A and B are shown apart, each in its own frame.
Chain A
Amino acid sequence: MSLFSFLDRDHSVAKPGYSRWLVPPAALAIHLAIGQVYAFSVFVNPLLAFSNSIGTPWSHKQVGYIFSFAIALLGISAAVFGKWLETAGPRKAMFVAASCFGLGFLVAALGIKLHSLPLIYLGYGGIGGIGLGVGYISPVSTLIKWFPDRPGLSTGLAIMGFGGGAMIGAPLATNLMAHFKAHGLEPIGPTFFWMGVVYFLFMMFGVFTIRVPAPGWKPEGFVPPVHQSAMISKHNVTVNSAMATPQFWLLWLVLALNVTAGIGVLESAAPMLQNLFSSKVTVFAAGGFVGLLSLFNMGGRFVWASLSDFIGRKATYMVFFVLGAILYFLLPSIHVLSLFVIVAGILISMYGGGFSTIPAYLKDLFGGVNVSAIHGRVLTAWSTAGIIGPLIINAYLDKYKAANRPLVDAYPHILHIMTGLLLLGFICNLLVRPVSERFWMKEGDLIPADHGGH
């Protein structure tokens, strides 16, 4: 038996009596760790100061590429490794994610030691980015298999972790940097090193805890409904066949448009708040507003995905697009502080809810067998939105800058554009229908062992 054989899918099949409530903490260990990427901004100023101190100043843009590489690699690796994950199993995938994410930090620490920005790109952006992508999709199909009765709740719990990861990552990084600085050390290198070690160990908790259900396992007392919505398929679709369906591309657009709109409110809400309520809100308090949005983002991931188990995925996205469009349109004209904060919070909760509801939507349409692989491919919509969203926003801001108009006047227009994108999303979601029979998996198609296949 090799040292790493415990990572094999066969060795991670749950014994009778294993509680499925141990699986969400395993998934959360991965998502809370990799969610650190959204706290990368805490390193930007220290990295700029570090580069100045060594006499080779890096530009803001050059440092920003570290985060961009990581996010780009997240989308690419989720798409590329999703299919492998379905055969390798969640434990091996989580181990790869933990190793890459931890190693990424260590290589970045070496980059600081050697004063090499390319090494930081390779470490945090490249190797760490692969850890992000593999880690993000690794627990999804396993959770769905353990919770056939509540797929939205289970994936919502895990993906909520990704939303909350920055809340741990930011104070952890700032405290570590302050600690090393107080001891007269260069703070970033040791912080990267120790974060790599700590996150690796934390993710290994998930690796050791995760189990796949035994073939044919069902929750006690669970009887699959005989009559269920036509939007919930009892059949499975392979990842390649899924990509040939209009439903895949409609959901790709649904996610891309929802995320683009969310980026719009993330970028616009804080400056608008300061402009609209300049007499009441200080810059310090605006920082609190950003924190509040993070809480709504995290909570929305759990609440909306759980709600989708009761009202259906299509209806949940209809709420995002209809309520979202109305609220995006109204936000710039709200002049009551508490109302502004609540509306912005609801909008950001729907941005998070879009991420956490999509795996269950994919499972409903394409079956649970290949859901991680299909989810990985759909996540390229996220990467695309990550490019398109800032492009739209920066184009508008540049236009206002060129015309010497105050930038804060641009934000209401940006939000109105986002309203239009949400209406497009509404149409795409409306067009989603059950997958045609010709795409269903046939006898003889490879089914992973935990589904009782061969």
Chain B
Amino acid sequence: MSNEASHKPSSPLSIALAWLVVLAPAAWGVYLTALRAANLFK
């Protein structure tokens, strides 16, 4: 990769992907926990 290329601003897509990598498992965990928590109000 050239220096010029590595100095490009981070693309919004790469930022979104980075967040997706960590938020997807977190959302899965939160969803399952919220399902369990809903039992309290049934």
Contact = CB atoms under 8 A, between A and B. Distances in A.
Nearest to A211: B10
A288 B38 contact: yes
Q: Which of B8, B10, B14, B18 has the largest count of A CB atoms less than 10 A from its CB?
A: B18
Nearest to A22: B18
Interface in A138-173: 161, 164, 166-168, 170-171
B22 A167 contact: no
B7 A287 contact: no
Interface in B12-39: 14-15, 18-19, 21-22, 25-26, 28-30, 32-34, 36-39
B30 A25 contact: no
Given A205-B22, A288-B41, A298-B30, 12 more contacts: A17-B9, A25-B18, A29-B21, A164-B26, A168-B25, A171-B29, A171-B32, A205-B21, A287-B36, A288-B38, A288-B39, A295-B30
A72 interface: no
A168 B22 contact: no
A32 B22 contact: yes
A161 B29 CA distance: 11
B9 to A, nearest CB: 4
B10 A22 contact: yes
Contacts of A370: none
Nearest to B6: A15
Given A19-B10, A291-B36, A295-B33, A25 B19 contact: yes
24 contacts: A15-B6, A15-B7, A19-B10, A19-B15, A21-B19, A22-B10, A29-B21, A29-B22, A161-B26, A167-B29, A167-B32, A171-B32, A202-B25, A205-B21, A287-B39, A288-B38, A288-B41, A289-B40, A291-B33, A291-B34, A295-B30, A295-B33, A295-B37, A341-B40
Contacts of B32: 167, 171
A164 B26 CA distance: 7
A427 interface: no
Interface residues of B, number: 26
Contacts of B36: 287-288, 291
A285 interface: yes
A18 interface: yes
Interface string A263-294: 00000000000000000010011111101101
A226 B4 CA distance: 36
**Nearest 7 A/B pairs, CB to CB:** A167-B29, A288-B39, A19-B10, A17-B9, A292-B37, A168-B29, A291-B36
Contacts of B21: 25, 29, 205
A19 B11 CA distance: 8
A21 B28 contact: no
Contacts of A288: 36-41
Given A25-B19, A281-B40, A295-B37, A17 B29 contact: no
B14 A167 contact: no
B12 to A, nearest CB: 9
Nearest to B32: A171
Nearest to A18: B10
Contacts of A202: 25
Contacts of A161: 22, 26
